[in-house]
Structure 1
């Protein structure tokens, strides 16, 4: 049986939930599947919500794709930005993509939601003219990103 996941593009009204999921993503432990890291609340959470709302107003350069958990609540998200780049001899594509957040609420994990939102985001980036896409990953996220063709670049 195939389960269909409904993904939609986020709107400014989703900024609070996107900030909550970003906060959640920052708690991923350094060692896979261990106790989450403590990430304190503070002014940064309000600033994050406001920054996400501002970014989502620019539909040409920012997109977040989400799965709803219920009214006013998100189960998962993938958010990315298009960063301008200068053309070169090997590509005139105008952007590089940066995936800033991929997160799934713990009660909705292992249902394919992160994969569904990532697929929508990657499709949007491709259509928007990205030459390449980068992201930073927690150990838990690495299998998903590897399945999309991402490779590890040492610092």
Structure 2
């Protein structure tokens, strides 16, 4: 946490006529938050590679559907002066958390040259208010001795029960069955369903719509939060309880303001292996959104927290603007539209350095 130890007697705080201008962070702020954490929270600063990895992980979590909430104060030079980042996680319900939601205040940091202006207090206060509005009632954090008084004033109390341990390269848990063991019966290899579920591969699921103009030129949106995938089809990650087509329809309305009615026509099934930047496999469905008229394209209304540009280009022109695997997926989808046969694309893997 913020560990500024400069004596208040030696630093004269500037006069502040109004509360600090705190705002809620967006995915575009991910790198700035990561750099504040690296420089002023961690005992050893991160390398540029780890800053990149953390940024890629944090950005989607700051989106409205993510589990991260952060409030920041902007500095005059365009960087971040301060931030307070909280991560929401589910817990078993109890009287102190009836909704089963808790949050860890993961990062509180202020640039040293901008401290003692109330930035950290304002950011943390805004964060707690937001989390409480989302029915989070249990909060936790690790505070330095210097920062502890601030958190006590905000309502936190000390506890000797908090303990911490880090285990790297943990071996497989005892009792995990070998491949081929009987998991359905009650023999030595059987496991309760919820325990077995922890041993199988996990995957995130998404659904997209492939739109073109009336000349069959693909339409894509430019992302504001994903430098790894700058140009994207209309669509996104499935919400709990949704089916793929429902996701595609909802995401289309949220990202463009367009309403699609179907019936659904599948163009491609997409699969990607996990990698360094994401620990799960990726499975997705790409549906045909149809051909849009010039008026429909001009009428698209973007969500500025996700995209900042709509572009329509001939398929070959997209190649220079996209990573090879993204362009390969786009080409496969375009070919499926052309031939009328759904495609199977299984090389949309996350990058790995191994």
Partner of 1:34: none
Structure 1 residues 90, 97: closer, same or farther in 2, change over 3 A?
closer
Larger Rg belongs to:
2
Partner of 2:67: 61
Partner of 1:31: none
Q: Is 1:22 aligned with 2:42?
A: no
TM-score by length of 1: 0.83
Structure 1 residues 53, 88: closer, same or farther in 2, change over 3 A?
same
TM-score by length of 2: 0.39
| Aligned Cα root-mean-square deviation (Å) | 2.0
CA offsets, 1:36-94, max 9 Å, x none?
Answer: x5435253222111121121124453211000003541100001011112223665223
Q: How many residues align?
A: 146
- Residue in structure 2 matching 1:70, options 57, 70, 76: 76
Structure 2: gaps of 5 or more residues? 1-15, 164-354
- Residue in structure 1 matching 2:126, options 111, 116, 120: 120
User: Is the 2:96–2:138 Cα contact (8 Å) retained in structure 1?
Assistant: no
Q: Which has the higher helix share?
A: 1
The DSSP-based 3-state class of the residue aligned with 1:130 is coil
User: Is the 1:84–1:95 Cα contact (8 Å) retained in structure 2?
Assistant: yes
User: Is the 2:36–2:111 Cα contact (8 Å) retained in structure 1?
Assistant: yes
Query: What displacement does 1:153 show?
Result: 1.8
Structure 1: gaps of 5 or more residues? 28-36
Structure 1 residues 105, 93: closer, same or farther in 2, change over 3 A?
same
- The 5 A counterparts of 1:82-101 are 82-88=88-94, 91-101=97-107
* Segment of structure 1 superposing worse, 102-111 or 39-48: 39-48
User: Is the 2:41–2:109 Cα contact (8 Å) retained in structure 1?
Assistant: no
**Runs of 4+ more than 4 Å apart:** none
Q: Is 1:3 aligned with 2:18?
A: yes
